[in-house]
């Protein structure tokens, strides 16, 4: 099992480059449980799409967000803590 405690771990385990080291206090796929300092992973399911809640996670002070929706790359820009991948479910399932 791999543990992710900070953004350096994201770079190491998931290959997601992060410019500065950010501590991750918790990990969530559900914005109802997001607390300040959490990593939010936007996952698509059969009945929901976590990408629909990325802005909510950011407003709740998630420190990092992993999404496969390309619109956030353009909207939030390179300086944000929102990272795009081809498929967030596959990216985080190793």
pLDDT value for 3: 76
Which domains are assigned to the chain?
27-91 (3.40.1390.10)
Identify which has the larger pLDDT, 19 or 28. Answer: 28
pLDDT 10s digits, 35-87: 999 999 888 888 989 999 998 998 999 988 888 887 776 655 544 576 666 65
Alpha helix (H) residue ranges in 1-94: 7-14, 54-59, 71-76, 88-91
- Residues whose CB is less than 8 angstroms from the CB of residue 60 and which lie 6 or more positions away in sequence, other chains included: 31, 34, 35, 36, 38
pLDDT at res. 30:
94
Token couple for 31: 């914005």
Instruction: Report how far residue 37's alpha carbon sits from residue 83's, in angstroms, rounded to the nearest whole number.
Output: 16
Report whether 10 contacts 64 (CB < 8 A): yes
Condensed to tens digits (0 to 9), the pLDDT of residues 4-14 reads 888 888 888 77
Output the pLDDT for position 1. Answer: 39
């Amino acid at each position: 099992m791999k543990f992710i405690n900070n953004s350096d771990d994201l770079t190491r385990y998931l290959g997601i480059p992060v410019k500065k080291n950010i501590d991750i206090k918790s990990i969530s796929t559900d914005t109802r449980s997001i607390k300040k300092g959490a990593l939010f992973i936007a996952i698509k399911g059969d009945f929901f799409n976590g990408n629909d809640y990325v802005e909510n996670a950011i407003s709740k002070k998630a420190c990092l967000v992993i999404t496969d929706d390309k619109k956030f790359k353009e909207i939030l820009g390179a300086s944000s803590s929102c990272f795009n991948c081809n498929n967030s479910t596959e990216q985080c399932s190793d």
